Amino acid sequence: MKGITLVEVIIAVFLISIVLLGLLSAFYFGFRLLSLNERKITATQIAQGEIEKIRNMQYLDIGTIGAQLPYASGTLEAESKVILNGIEYKIERKVKFVSDLTDGSEACPLDYKKVEIKVSFSDILKGEVVLTTDIAPKNKIEEIQACSLQPAGILTVQVLDTKGNLISNPKIEIFNPNTGELIDSASPSSGKYDFPLSSGNYRVVVSKEGYSSERTYSVEEIAIPENPNPNVLEGKITQISLVIDKISSMTVQTLSTYGKDFFSDSFDNEEKISQKENITIFNGQAQLATNSEGYLPSGYLLSKEISPQNLTQWEEFSFENSKPLGTEIKYQIYFASDSEWLLIPDSDLPGNSLGFTESPINLTNLPISYSKLKIKATFTTNSTSFTPILYNWQLRWKTSNPVSIPNVKFDMRGEKIIGKDSNENPIYKFSTTTQTGLSGKIQLQNLEWDVYHFSNFQKDSQSLEVATSTPTQPVSLDPDTNLTVSFYLESTNSLLVTVLDSQTLKPIFSATTTLSSNNFSQTQYTDFNGQTLFLPLNSQYFNLLVEATGYNSTSTLVLVSGKTTIVVKLDPSE
């Protein structure tokens, strides 16, 4: 017979150890659970014994030594300890007066007592048991005697929403305004609660998860508070109402008053061509077609319709081509007239009838009534061996579509006031200074319903003017809403930079653009349209450095005067 190897013995011992460890763990946790249940049973018995003892006490004695309203004063110790079966149990006693104004009697507001017994243990195993019971006076005499021993008034707090409806289960807290000590709290399902309290001045705070909060103020905090701390008088009912509602959020975005858009074609395919004759499109080139003898003498191509949205100004037409000796490409621009496409007259675009041969062509004086355009390129050659080649063309314009302005600081405040100072100047509940991020946006959370005002827009410590906003100021925010507020900002001088791939003419996202001059340097990143806007700026020359991953960087000198725009084309790095 074959013997058992040492490796097999080790594996067997390992597997047996795993099984035994699992059994031991199960036994250990089972033992802990059993011990915890035993201790909870003991704690429950202790608490029940305390409850029975209290029920057999005189009504006036039921309370803790030295307690202050709303808690009942009596002969019970607030805390004590007992050891059973070697385990120490802590007993905590609370006796609280409850006022029920619906009973029709306001002579004594202390209607009955609510007793809470908490028994806890905290050695190796931790746990607690809490039992409560209500103890009522046997008769009116005991009730009145309780009021004589601890004279009280009633503070009735009701919590409303903006429509005047009671809010269910709000958190109402009563504080000593001098020490900040929490005296009592409640979360009434009705939204209203009666607190029996000693005569004095109290701070009230109301709140609820997902809601705004409200509180009262002392004259030491605010000279003339809107919601002053209530005074509770013996034998009197003081009622206050505080209003809260669901919180809202607001997205604030800072934008330019204009943007730039363009049509471009790098001739990778014929998607942007509406018509052609004797022209071939292949591998990023448009050129004359061939026959058996060589290149054809002429041909043309026509772009698809260019119909800008929100056009404010035509800007420039540019192209890149090569024209060997004896070849030519002439460019003309057509406009839509009903169902026809007509050549824009020289009166509106000088030189258009003969055709343009040098790039770029300035279109800033072209009326925007020409809202739909097409570009035509006419190719010619006097040799079958040579053809002109068009590599790309681009037509640019300005639009009212905005560009995000990053890192704009602004002031924001609501109209709600918590009171006035000693000079009767308003103290606003909400007032802050913040700024938008790199995307030109900021999300403001946990705002309460209010009417908000925005002012003092600045970028790099220079002021920006608000041309308009959506919605218009002031901005009203309702409860439980998410509102987007757009501010369209402008300055006397600005620079809109558009960064494109030189081969595809597609926008380059997240290109690094650095604008600098003496004592000035600012870096921004292009958006998904390849654009970024610098403002406010002085009217002067700046150096513009543009960099992007996978591209050769480039630097150029640009004169900024008024609303200046520039297109930068980056060559892909090898």
The 10s digit of each residue's pLDDT in 32-43 is 668 888 889 999
Rounded to an integer, what distance in angstroms lies between the CA atom of residue 317 and that of residue 360? 6
Beta carbons of 289 and 296 less than 8 angstroms apart: yes
Beta carbons of 438 and 460 less than 8 angstroms apart: no
Which distant-in-sequence residues (6+ apart) come within 8 Å of 299 by Cβ? Answer: 276, 277, 278, 279, 288, 289, 378, 379
201 token code pair: 């001045």
- Per-10-residue mean pLDDT, the chain, length 574: 67 75 65 80 94 94 93 94 90 92 69 94 87 92 88 94 96 96 95 94 97 96 96 93 97 93 93 96 94 96 95 94 96 94 97 96 95 97 96 93 93 97 96 95 96 95 93 96 96 92 91 93 91 92 96 95 91 88
| Bridge-based pairing state of the strands 153-160 and 237-243 | parallel
Q: What is the predicted pLDDT for the residue at 497? A: 94
Count of CB atoms situated within 10 Å of the CB of 41: 11
Rounded to an integer, what distance in angstroms lies between the CA atom of residue 463 and that of residue 421? 30
541-565 residue pLDDT tens? 999 999 999 999 999 999 999 888 8
Q: What is the predicted pLDDT for the residue at 148? A: 87
Q: Which of 565, 560, 234 is nearest to 397 (CA)?
A: 565
78 bridge partner residues:
none
Beta carbons of 215 and 202 less than 8 angstroms apart: no
Rounded to an integer, what distance in angstroms lies between the CA atom of residue 208 and that of residue 84? 42
Rounded to an integer, what distance in angstroms lies between the CA atom of residue 209 and that of residue 229? 23
Q: Which of 574, 397, 408 is nearest to 498 (CA)?
A: 397
Beta carbons of 90 and 126 less than 8 angstroms apart: no
Beta carbons of 306 and 375 less than 8 angstroms apart: yes
Tell whether pTM > 0.85: no
Q: What is the predicted pLDDT for the residue at 1? A: 47
Beta carbons of 403 and 416 less than 8 angstroms apart: no
For the chain, the distance separating the N- and C-terminal CA atoms, rounded to the nearest angstrom, is: 72
Q: How many residues does the chain have?
A: 574
Q: CA separation (Å) from 227 to 179, 241, 357, 414, 417?
A: 19, 9, 77, 17, 10
Beta carbons of 93 and 57 less than 8 angstroms apart: no
Rounded to an integer, what distance in angstroms lies between the CA atom of residue 380 and that of residue 404? 45
Q: CA separation (Å) from 375 to 154, 219, 292, 420?
A: 84, 75, 30, 67
Tokens 């009145």: give the residue.
144
450 bridge partner residues:
477
Tokens 């004086």: give the residue.
365
Q: What is the predicted pLDDT for the residue at 528? A: 87
Beta carbons of 347 and 363 less than 8 angstroms apart: no
Rounded to an integer, what distance in angstroms lies between the CA atom of residue 285 and that of residue 125? 81
* Cα–chain center distance at 67: 47
Strands (E), 198-310: 200-201, 203-207, 214-215, 224-225, 231-232, 237-243, 248-256, 259-265, 273-277, 279-282, 285-288, 290-291, 294-295, 298-303
Which distant-in-sequence residues (6+ apart) come within 8 Å of 413 by Cβ? Answer: 428, 430, 431, 432, 452, 453
Tokens 């004896």: give the residue.
326
237-295 residue pLDDT tens? 999 999 999 999 999 999 999 888 999 999 999 999 999 999 999 989 999 999 999 99
**What secondary structure does DSSP assign to 176-201, as a single string?**
-TTT--EEEEE--TTSEEEEEE-SEE
Beta carbons of 563 and 542 less than 8 angstroms apart: no
Rounded to an integer, what distance in angstroms lies between the CA atom of residue 330 and that of residue 348? 18
Count of CB atoms situated within 10 Å of the CB of 100: 12
